[in-house]
Amino acid sequence: MDSLDESLKLENDMQKTLKLYNEGKPLFTRAVLEDINHHLEKNKKKVMIKDYLENEHIYDLEVPYWCADTADTVRIKYNGIEALTTLHPDGDKIPWGTRTMTITYGSHYTADNITVEKVRAAFEHQREAWEQSKTCQHLTRQLENFTPGQVVGITKIVGFALGPVTHLDSKSVCGIGPSATNALTQHMALLIIADILKERNGGRDVKCYTQDPINKGVGNEFLKTIGITPLDDPKGFLEVDDKTLVVSIHPNVSVRQVIADLQYPAAMLWDTVEEPVKREWEQKTMDDGHVTWIFPYSTDPVSSRVIRMAEQYNQLPFDDADDWFGKLTWYVRKDA
């Protein structure tokens, strides 16, 4: 296929993609995620995933030899509508073509000399600061203002990208460091939300789950000790239903677009949904002199479907006086 044919095919595929998207075809489906999950659970060697135009692609579920030196784990990549319709400036191509989900390979973060006991000590140290903070007080008041109908509609919480609880920094003043401080605090928030919902709902337990590959190993073992069940990708997405509160904080995955296609939850606490702004690729020179291009959109971009979903919810800005979470907003179903 010559360059002209490739260009015509690219333009044709992009037009088809936009047409199907505007007609409502989901980028992400529960059936596909369940199939990927089944293959991973059964330790299958390969999986077939159809792209947005129904073309079949086969992926290895074992780290292939060509990247074995740098990778030790399989990951699922979720491509939002921007990734499927944004031309790369260097060569006029779409990096991921029409593939909404692909299998990629990466490496686990390893925390040298970090144990569950050390993470627990950091957690207890930070807990006092969290419980006395203005952010915690504001969070508590906001939850107490939820209506009985809104409270009864939530039976579980699923957190995405709440951060690396094992990224302790012995050089910092408290021995924790900003990365772990934020992560530990965000997991504390999950627990206090569950406690308040349980209290307001007559003692009915609210289960807590998280999905964040960065906590694999010691991090996940610690989370189990505080009542949070860690889930491998894509189990977190599959756990979301209409009785779920989704908590997602600056993920490097298109969480909002996945949720918008899979299931409208009972409520969300996540990055504030704002009208998307068209952005341009940015050229960046690395320390070694290598020049690369930076994708113009965030890793969790807002799409038209995310906007439509947000319109179905009452919205309340989250008051993060201590700057542990960033710009978040509560979204609670209007019909609750």
Select the more confidently predicted residue: 148 or 133.
133
Instruction: Say yes or no: 95 and 157 in one domain.
Output: no
Instruction: Say yes or no: 196 and 305 in one domain.
Output: yes
Q: What pLDDT, on the 0 to 100 scale, is given for residue 3?
A: 63
C-beta separation of 287 from 94 below 8 A: no
Residue 112 has pLDDT above 70, yes or no: yes
Q: What is the mean pLDDT of residues 219-245?
A: 97
Residue 273 has pLDDT above 70, yes or no: yes
Q: What pLDDT, on the 0 to 100 scale, is given for residue 157?
A: 98
Decide if 93 is inside a domain: yes
Decide if 316 is inside a domain: yes
What average pLDDT is seen over the chain? 90
* Total Cβ atoms within 10 A of residue 226: 17
pLDDT digit string (tens) for 89-105? 776 677 788 999 999 99
Decide if 111 is inside a domain: no
Q: Domain range spanning residue 79?
A: 3-106
pLDDT digit string (tens) for 276-310? 777 777 778 888 878 777 666 677 889 999 999 99
Domain stop point among 45, 75, 106: 106
Decide if 215 is inside a domain: yes
Residue 145 has pLDDT above 80, yes or no: yes
Instruction: Say yes or no: 210 and 71 in one domain.
Output: no
The pTM of the full predicted model, rounded to 2 decimals, is 0.92
Instruction: Say yes or no: 154 and 200 in one domain.
Output: yes
pLDDT digit string (tens) for 212-223? 999 999 999 999
Instruction: Say yes or no: 91 and 158 in one domain.
Output: no
Decide if 123 is inside a domain: yes
Q: What type of residue is 52?
A: Y
Instruction: Say yes or no: 94 and 121 in one domain.
Output: no
Give the CATH number of the domain where residue 321 resides. Answer: 3.40.50
Decide if 62 is inside a domain: yes
Q: What pLDDT, on the 0 to 100 scale, is given for residue 91?
A: 65
Instruction: Say yes or no: 304 and 264 in one domain.
Output: yes
Q: What pLDDT, on the 0 to 100 scale, is given for residue 5?
A: 75
Q: Which letter, b or e, does each residue of 8-35 get, where b requires 16 or more Cβ atoms within 10 Å of its Cβ?
A: eebeebbeebeebbeeeebbbebebbee
Distances (CA, A) of 296 to 80, 90, 102: 13, 14, 20
Decide if 223 is inside a domain: yes
Q: What is the mean pLDDT of residues 230-240?
A: 98
Number of domains the chain is built from:
2
Instruction: Say yes or no: 80 and 149 in one domain.
Output: no
Instruction: Say yes or no: 56 and 144 in one domain.
Output: no
DSSP annotation of 273 reads P
C-beta separation of 167 from 111 below 8 A: yes
Instruction: Say yes or no: 148 and 240 in one domain.
Output: yes
Question: Do strands 313-317 and 328-333 pair parallel, antiparallel, or not at all (unpaired)?
Answer: antiparallel
C-beta separation of 120 from 225 below 8 A: yes
Residue 1 has pLDDT above 60, yes or no: no
Q: What pLDDT, on the 0 to 100 scale, is given for residue 93?
A: 74
